[in-house]
């Protein structure tokens, strides 16, 4: 059979064998790389939102592949797949366009996460909090320099700059921050709760009156109206609320009850309180308005001496399961161990946990003397600390949480060229390391850190 006969079959038998030969060649092309290396074919598994985000970022093919692989996804884009994806249009891809490139059923929610060490070298990182600008606050309980100060890791500059806030504390175990940037510290060594005021550059420390408490403060949380919630570990485990503006023990409230030894505490937008009951090996919820053990509920299960708890905007809980050296998520509505899932790996005595406004989870990994960032796969963003977005020479981005500094050079220590004081769209001229070039300062070239803008 010649070439012309191969494509234009004159007999039914010729068409039959021609089709079989084409199928065989197609299968051989697909499976040859795996057979040559002794591996089984990997089924692509990536969420629609992840494909949209990564492809629309317009990064080089090699960077695109690396980003997807760093997210822990079973998907390695070949040049042909990348070209096919991008050929569908410059904007977000449609469901049909992506599904046409993947086998049915392979577009599903991934269960992997991205894990990154943000900073290390701490002596005993315990409590952790994240403020509205993405700065990380650490209660370093046994600081060798003395005084157990709270340490602030600045988001601008990729957490390379560390500042000590407050001084003279004794064994700081818990830390929280309110919407105005005021920092609350559980000074466990002296049985005190302190407030470091943002006004004046964190130089003023006030001690909150919690006299009459039957234990030492351990974990802290603060709601959007400034009420402070404290977990007390002692011969009677208690969770207390210090209302905003409260200046004496008379206005302090006891919440829930029946705790073995509460260590971590968190509060959601509806004033529900969540408690890591360390001695009780449980995570519990104090529903809003609950003031007795009868209305306290147990969530999830299978924990061993949980130390910290945090809640995101969707009601999912994140727990440092210290006795099991692991970090776990209790999805909204989960009431048993069967629906609890483990996140990340390699932890040693993880202590505090916090969630930022983007849903990134931060862990004070005490045994490894470090801070770890986790991003649950399936969200629409790549972790800020993983990779900068590639840009053309003429794009625009939004300064989403002003004020934000524009510097004369791509360094957190460089002089400030100007400050963007309001939420605004700025002109981006390219990137250099972790910094974007911009001419927003009256036409002068400056640099703004990646953590300060969104595209």
pLDDT (tens digit per residue) in 23-32: 444 444 443 4
The answer as to whether 317 is a domain residue is yes
The total number of structural domains in the chain stands at 4
Higher local confidence (pLDDT), 288 or 413:
288
Rg (CA), the chain: 27
Clarify whether residues 9 and 95 are in a common domain.
no
Q: Does 433 lie in the same domain as 326?
A: no
Q: Is 285 in the same domain as 309?
A: yes
Does residue 80 sit in the same domain as residue 6? no
329, 341 contact by CB (below 8 A): yes
Quick one: 169 and 73 in the same domain? no
Supply the DSSP symbol for 40. P
Give the CATH number of the domain where residue 423 resides: 2.30.30.40
If we measure between CA atoms, which residue out of 231, 258, 212, 254 comes closest to residue 173?
Answer: 231
d(CA 16, CA 250): 90
Q: Please, which pLDDT band fits residue 322 given cuts at 50, 70 and 90?
A: very high
Whether 389 is in a domain gets the answer no
Contacts of 436 (CB under 8 A, 6+ apart): 388, 391, 397, 428, 429, 430, 447, 448, 449, 450, 453
Q: What is the pTM of this model?
A: 0.64
Q: Is residue 145 part of a domain?
A: yes
Check whether residue 196 and residue 332 sit in a common domain.
yes
Domain membership of residue 332 (yes or no) is yes
**Which pLDDT score is estimated for 77?**
44
Q: Is the dihedral of CA 69, 75, 78, 81 positive or negative?
A: negative
Residues 103 and 134 in one domain: no
Confidence of residue 83 (pLDDT cuts 50, 70, 90): low
Residues 152 and 207 in one domain: yes
Q: Quick one: 190 and 64 in the same domain?
A: no
Q: Across residues 373-401, what is the average pLDDT? A: 53
- If one counts every other C-beta atom within 10 angstroms of the C-beta of residue 299, the result is 23
- The pLDDT tens digits of the residues spanning 261-283 come to 899 999 998 899 999 999 999 99
Indicate if 296 and 308 belong to the same structural domain. Answer: yes
**Is the pLDDT assigned to residue 393 strictly greater than 80?**
no
pLDDT of 446 over the 80 cut: yes
| Structural domain containing residue 4 | 1-33
Q: In terms of domains, do 228 and 349 share one? A: yes
End-of-domain residue from the set 376, 407, 435: 376
Considering the domain boundaries, does residue 390 fall inside one? no
| 260 falls within a domain | yes
Q: Band of the pLDDT at 211, cuts 50, 70, 90? A: low
Q: Tell me: do 182 and 249 sit in the same domain.
A: yes
């Amino acid at each position: 059979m010649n070439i012309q006969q191969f494509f234009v079959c004159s007999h039914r038998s010729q068409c039959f064998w021609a089709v079989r030969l084409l199928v065989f060649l197609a299968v051989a092309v697909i499976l040859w790389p795996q057979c040559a290396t002794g591996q089984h074919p990997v089924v692509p598994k990536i969420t629609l939102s992840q494909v949209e985000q990564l492809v629309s970022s317009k990064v080089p093919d090699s960077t695109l592949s690396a980003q997807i692989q760093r997210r822990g996804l079973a998907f390695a884009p070949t040049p042909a797949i990348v070209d096919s994806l991008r050929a569908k249009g410059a904007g977000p891809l449609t469901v049909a366009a992506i599904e046409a490139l993947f086998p049915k059923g392979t577009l599903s929610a991934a269960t992997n996460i991205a894990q990154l060490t943000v900073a290390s070298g701490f002596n005993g990182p315990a409590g952790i909090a994240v403020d509205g600008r993405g700065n990380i606050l650490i209660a370093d309980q046994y600081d060798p320099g003395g005084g157990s100060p709270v340490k602030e890791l600045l988001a601008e500059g990729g957490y390379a700059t560390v500042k000590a806030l407050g001084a003279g504390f004794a064994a700081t175990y818990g830390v929280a921050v309110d919407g105005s940037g005021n920092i609350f510290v559980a000074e466990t060594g002296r049985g005190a709760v302190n407030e470091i005021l943002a006004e004046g550059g964190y130089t003023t420390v006030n001690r909150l009156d919690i006299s009459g408490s039957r234990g030492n403060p351990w974990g802290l949380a603060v709601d959007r109206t400034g009420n402070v919630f404290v977990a007390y570990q002692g011969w009677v485990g208690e969770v207390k609320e210090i209302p905003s503006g409260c200046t004496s023990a008379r206005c302090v409230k006891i919440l829930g009850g029946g705790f073995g030894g509460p260590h971590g505490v968190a509060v959601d937008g509806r004033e529900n309180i969540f408690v890591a009951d360390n001695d009780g090996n449980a995570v519990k919820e104090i529903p809003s308005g609950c003031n007795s053990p009868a209305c306290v509920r147990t969530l999830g299960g299978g924990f061993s001496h949980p130390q910290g708890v945090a809640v995101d905007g969707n009601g999912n809980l994140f727990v440092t399961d210290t006795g099991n050296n692991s970090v776990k998520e209790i999805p909204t509505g989960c009431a048993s161990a069967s629906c609890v899932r483990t996140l990340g790996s390699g932890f040693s005595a993880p202590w505090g946990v916090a969630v930022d406004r983007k849903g990134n989870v931060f862990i004070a990994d005490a045994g490894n003397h470090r801070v770890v960032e986790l991003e649950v796969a399936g969200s629409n963003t790549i972790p800020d600390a993983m990779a900068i977005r590639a840009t053309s020479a003429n794009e625009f981005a939004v300064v989403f949480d002003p004020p934000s500094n524009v510097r004369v050079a791509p360094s957190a220590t460089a002089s400030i060229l100007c400050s963007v004081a309001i939420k605004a769209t700025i002109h981006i001229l390219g990137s250099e390391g972790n910094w974007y070039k911009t001419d927003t300062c009256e036409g002068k070239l400056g640099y703004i850190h990646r953590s300060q803008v969104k595209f």
